[in-house]
Amino acid sequence: MKLYKNLSSASQAREDVTALKISVKGEEFPSELLDFPNLEELYLEGNCKKFPDTGITWEKLKILSIKWPGFTGDLSSLFRLPRLENLKIIETPLKTFLLPLGNAPAPIKSLTIKDCGLKSLPEEMGMLQSLSEANFSGNNLSALPHGLLDLKFLKRLNLDHNQFQIFPDLIKKMPNLSHLSIDHNPFPDDEKDRIQRIFHIWIN
């Protein structure tokens, strides 16, 4: 698999391109990125502020990574990509996101939304039935939606460096969860004692 790092070289044979790594220089999303129908991997960095909410044609995309520190738009449309398995969003302002009600969601297995200022997770998180690993570290989360209980394959959950002051007790009801990290949250001392006593978890 050849990894192209600029659009000019890749555009010569768009049908053959399966992997792209692009740094978006301007604030506008480069619409020519939508003209690569066989993309399987896409890595995006740069200064982009908006993302199209319709017309995405990446039917074969499996891996997507985004790092846009100046972003002001919405990335909910990504959760409709039919083959997306690995989604990583890092240092990209994103207070929340929506899942595609009435449509089949992306078959995401690994989801990272890290250092994005995320304040809440949608109650419909249970729609992501294939999810086995989730990393929401470095955000502003203080509670979890009950929809997480529907994620029967979720094994790893990272909630480090958030704003939890009360331990989300629903985690105890997730029998397949084998790895939990919830360090560096502002738990008061009495809550830390409760967590250690009831859940046998030691918090840093």
Please tell me the total count of domains within the chain.
1
Cα 111 to Cα 94: distance, rounded to the nearest angstrom: 14
Return phi, psi of residue 111, to 5°.
-125, 120
pLDDT value at 184 more than 90: yes
Work out the pLDDT band at 8, boundaries 50, 70, 90: low
Residue 31 domain-assigned?
Answer: yes
pLDDT of residue 1: 56
**Residue 29 sits in which domain range?**
3-199
Residue 131 domain-assigned?
Answer: yes
Residue 204 domain-assigned?
Answer: no
pLDDT value at 72 more than 60: yes
Cα 159 to Cα 182: distance, rounded to the nearest angstrom: 5
Average pLDDT, integer, range 177-200: 92
Query: For 139-147, which contacts have Cβ atoms below 8 Å and span 24 or more sequence positions?
Result: 139/113, 139/114, 139/115, 143/168, 144/168, 144/170, 144/171, 145/120, 145/121, 146/170, 147/121, 147/122, 147/123
Start-to-end C-alpha separation, the chain: 42
Cα 13 to Cα 164: distance, rounded to the nearest angstrom: 49
Which single residue is written with the structure tokens 């790594």? Answer: 21
Least confident range from 7-11, 85-89, 157-161: namely 7-11
Tell me the per-residue pLDDT of 26-36, one tens digit each, with 9 for 90 and over: 899 988 888 88
Work out the pLDDT band at 37, boundaries 50, 70, 90: confident
Average pLDDT, integer, range 72-90: 94
For position 135, which CATH number holds? 3.80.10.10
